[in-house]
Structures are given as C-alpha cells and as structure tokens.
Amino acid sequence: MSSEMIGALGLGLLLVLMVLRVPVALCMLIVGVGGFAQVISWSAAMSMVKSVPVEVLSNYSFSAIPMFILMGVLAAHSGMAGKLFNSVRVICGGWKGGLAIAAVGSCGIFSAISGSSLATASTMTRVALPEMERHGYNRGLATGALAAGGTLGIMIPPSIALLIYAILTEQSVGDMFMAGLIPGLMGILFYA
C-alpha cells in the first residue's frame, strides 16, 4: 500500500472517529499506531505503544511543562489574574481604550506567569470580558483585544512552545527565551 493511500485512510479514519466524538488524543493515538503498523509492522507499533509514553514522561527536559501549567492554574484560581487586570487598568484606565489596553497588558504579564497562550486567553477572558462589556465596549473589540493578548503566551518567555522548540531542536533554552523577549515586548506594545 502506498504512503499516499495510507495517509488518506488515516485522515478518513481520523474524521470518522472525531464524528463519533472520540477524544482527539485517542483519535491521534489510534491513527498514528495504525499508520505506523501499516508502514512497518504491528509488532513494532505495539512495541512503541509500550515504550514511547514512558520515555516521554520520564524525560527530564519536559518536566518544566507541568510546572508552567500548575503556575497558570494557581494564578487563575487564586484571584491573582483579576488583581493583575485591575492593576494594569489603574495605570491605563484613563486613556482612550484603556480597558482594551489593560486587557492586552495583563495578558502579556499573565503569559509570563503561565507560559501558555491557551491558559492566558481563557483566564483573562473570564476576568476582563465581563468588565469590558459592563463599560460598554463592543463585544467584537473586547474579544479581539483578548484574542490578540492571548497569543502573546507563545512569544513571551517562559513559553511552553519555546521550551518544546528548544528541546526538539537541541538549542539552549536560555537563548530561546532571550530570543522571544524582544518580540514579546513588542507584541504587547503594538497590540495595545
């Protein structure tokens, strides 16, 4: 069977599983193992299913990722995100569009805490969106500002994406974080 045919079958299987509401991680596992088994062999695929998860979870380099996620959860549930937004709002609140600027600024700071774009966008949306709507901001402007601010999590160090990229490309994590600092700060300034 050609690789194009295996790829098409894998994509079809993935779509069928997702229509059946199978969780995405399980869909990817089934399609990946099935495709690997078709290309190599079923015994090699089963061997990988046994060994790869243990190798990934025991890799010291990836141990920082759960810590970033834990820090983001603690910051979100402790009320720190709300206080962060209110602090930035005090600084920028008197300016024209001050709440939108405060939303982007607090997203940038929260990104530096959590390291995750998804955690930043979801947490700051829960905190800032009701406040912006209460002050009469258009919902499109409010959600646009929060979406733009949420994307800062991938650039501002310490970023989970930069950490994974550094590990996969065998580069210095410190150098990668230094490389993301200036673009991240520029993102905060230009988005706001």
Q: How many other C-beta atoms lie within 10 A of the C-beta of residue 183? A: 11
Contact present, 188 and 105 (Cβ < 8 Å): yes
Please say if the pLDDT value at position 102 is more than 70: yes
Sign, CA torsion 10/16/18/22: negative
Minimum mean pLDDT range among 61-70, 92-101, 104-113: 61-70
pLDDT of amino acid 121: 85
Higher pLDDT, 178 or 11: 178
What ranges in the chain are assigned the alpha helix state H? 3-19, 24-39, 42-58, 64-77, 80-92, 98-114, 117-134, 139-150, 160-168, 173-191
Query: Rounded to whole angstroms, what are the CA distances from 190 to 57, 70, 108, 148?
Result: 38, 29, 12, 10
Q: How far apart, in whole angstroms, are the C-alpha atoms of residue 178 and residue 159? A: 11
Per residue in 34-47, pLDDT tens? 888 888 888 988 88
Minimum mean pLDDT range among 64-78, 102-116, 134-148: 64-78
pLDDT band of residue 192 (cuts 50, 70, 90) is low
Minimum mean pLDDT range among 92-96, 160-164, 179-183: 92-96
pLDDT band of residue 1 (cuts 50, 70, 90) is low
Please say if the pLDDT value at position 191 is more than 80: no
Contact present, 162 and 67 (Cβ < 8 Å): no
Q: How far apart, in whole angstroms, are the C-alpha atoms of residue 162 and residue 166? A: 6
Contact present, 116 and 75 (Cβ < 8 Å): no
Higher pLDDT, 45 or 93: 45
Span 88-109, average pLDDT: 86
Residue 97 backbone dihedrals phi, psi, to 5 degrees: 75, 25
Span 128-132, average pLDDT: 88
